[in-house]
Structure 1
């Protein structure tokens, strides 16, 4: 199954819905970053939530989402232009915890709950929209749900999941979001709460071959799918961008690279691509600054 996202509406229950599968792109990220299982689960949940958050934007604005709960995984960051492409990383890819009682991957332990979740939306205005909320559990789904409630005043169900094989390969990744519309009644809320009470884990459903549409149809028989979007892990880094970044470190630092190392190598934090600059290239760069 390719990675994609669907957006829909359920008029009978006064809510809008989103669902996605992100297995392939998470596997790409796992290989690029050498992610251990719990780090894979955290980044997979985070990217799925970011994709669905981006799908709520009508103007395809650039979005950067960051989370740091003080845990060993460090900062988690994802960037997308709401175009189906995402780049993302975790501060420490070599994190692996499991919960003793369930044996499940301990994402909350890795992320921690002493920090913030921040969403920055660049809508082309003078100042970007910035929404910041305290992390609740570090499990990511609950934290995005809290963000929607506090920052955007939209009651939301956020279900995210990742399954990792014993070989560390990704078996499934994805999730769904249900958001109540202003017209939602107590009956609509009760229906959703009842459906969610014993609903299967989304990671298990995806691993069994259910599509995002079918998962939504398990909750709402009359869901109307409005559109879909293919999803990819794709970084927009380049040597030219790295060169521009080098220009910001200062003339003394560049001169030191020339004198001591006779060149330098830069690594993109989003995809681990490496870019080398020779001594001559650094000298040209230094001359252009001066």
Structure 2
């Protein structure tokens, strides 16, 4: 089943709903960053959350989510846009903790319970919008929910779920986001809260072959749902050798000359996707010439 996200309305438009299968996205990130099981779940949940938030953007608008907790995973950074693209990384990919007291992967133990959850939106305006809330759970679904409630003033429920196989690969990954619009009745909110208490993990539903549409049907349990659209989501990093060359130029001539003299070249690695770019001596010399304006 392909990765995609569904946007819908329920309860006569008073609830906006999103559901997603992001298994291939999270599997690609796991492969690129060689994450171990607990880190896989933490990065995977962050990527799913980033895609759900990204679904609220228009086309080229961009968003960065930074989760900086006090756990061994270190910082988790994900970048998404309104076209379903996402990339991300975790500072310490090799985190594997014992299961928690519920027998589940201990994402909270990896992320930590103290720290900062930051969202930066680039909406093509002069200044990007930035919102910040404390980490309240470390399980991440609750942290996305808290951010939306406090920073964006939207009462929401966010569920993020990753099923990691015994070899650290990703079996399934997905999630949902429900947003209650102004004017929704207390009955609607109470009914949703009750349903969510009994909702199985999204990753388990995906493993059973359920689609994002099926997941919404389960959440709304007989209520009329209006599907607005479905759209593909994908791991996509737009790094290139040219972009890294531009970055190397900013280091200045003496720094580049040191790379030539000491290392006889340079290797640049993209944090987001792990892609490596090698610059040999002639290429570095050409960058120096670009700075100085000299030609051989």
Could you tell me how far apart the structure 2 residues matched to 1:92 and 1:54 are?
Answer: 24
Aligned counterpart, 1:140: 140
Q: What is the CA deviation profile of residues 116-135 of structure 1, one whole-angstrom value per residue up to 9, with x for unaligned ones?
A: 11111111111000011111
Structure 2 stretches lacking a partner, 5+ long: none
Alpha-carbon distance, 1:98 to partner:
3.2
Aligned counterpart, 1:261: 263
SS at match of 2:121: strand
Could you tell me how far apart the structure 2 residues matched to 1:98 and 1:3 are?
Answer: 30
- The 3 A distance-change label for structure 1 pair 100 and 42 is closer
2:227 aligned residue (222, 225, 236):
225
Could you tell me how far apart the structure 2 residues matched to 1:138 and 1:174 are?
Answer: 18
Q: What is the CA deviation profile of residues 207-227 of structure 1, one whole-angstrom value per residue up to 9, with x for unaligned ones?
A: 111111101111223111100
Is the 2:55–2:81 Cα contact (8 Å) retained in structure 1?
A: no
- Counting only pairs closer than 5 Å after superposition, residues 169-208 of structure 1 correspond to structure 2 as 169-208=169-208
Aligned counterpart, 1:159: 159
* Bigger Cα displacement from structure 2, 10-19 vs 188-197: 10-19
Aligned counterpart, 2:236: 234
Alpha-carbon distance, 1:95 to partner:
0.5
Alpha-carbon distance, 1:100 to partner:
3.9
Could you tell me how far apart the structure 2 residues matched to 1:289 and 1:211 are?
Answer: 53
Aligned counterpart, 1:214: 214
Q: What is the CA deviation profile of residues 53-102 of structure 1, one whole-angstrom value per residue up to 9, with x for unaligned ones?
A: 11112354111111111211111111122211111110011011233422
Could you tell me how far apart the structure 2 residues matched to 1:100 and 1:203 are?
Answer: 18
TM-score (norm 1): 0.97
Is the 1:161–1:173 Cα contact (8 Å) retained in structure 2?
A: yes
Aligned counterpart, 2:52: 52
Structure 1 stretches lacking a partner, 5+ long: none
Could you tell me how far apart the structure 2 residues matched to 1:180 and 1:102 are?
Answer: 30
SS at match of 2:94: coil
Could you tell me how far apart the structure 1 residues matched to 2:214 and 2:90 are?
Answer: 31
Count matched residues: 290
Root-mean-square deviation (Å) = 1.2
Aligned counterpart, 1:105: 105
Aligned counterpart, 1:120: 120
Could you tell me how far apart the structure 2 residues matched to 1:167 and 1:126 are?
Answer: 46
1:270 aligned residue (264, 268, 272):
272
Could you tell me how far apart the structure 2 residues matched to 1:80 and 1:285 are?
Answer: 31
Aligned counterpart, 2:253: 251
Is the 1:3–1:23 Cα contact (8 Å) retained in structure 2?
A: yes
Is the 1:54–1:60 Cα contact (8 Å) retained in structure 2?
A: no
Q: What is the CA deviation profile of residues 168-201 of structure 1, one whole-angstrom value per residue up to 9, with x for unaligned ones?
A: 2211100001110001111111111111122111
2:287 aligned residue (261, 278, 285):
285
- The 3 A distance-change label for structure 1 pair 259 and 108 is same
SS at match of 1:280: helix
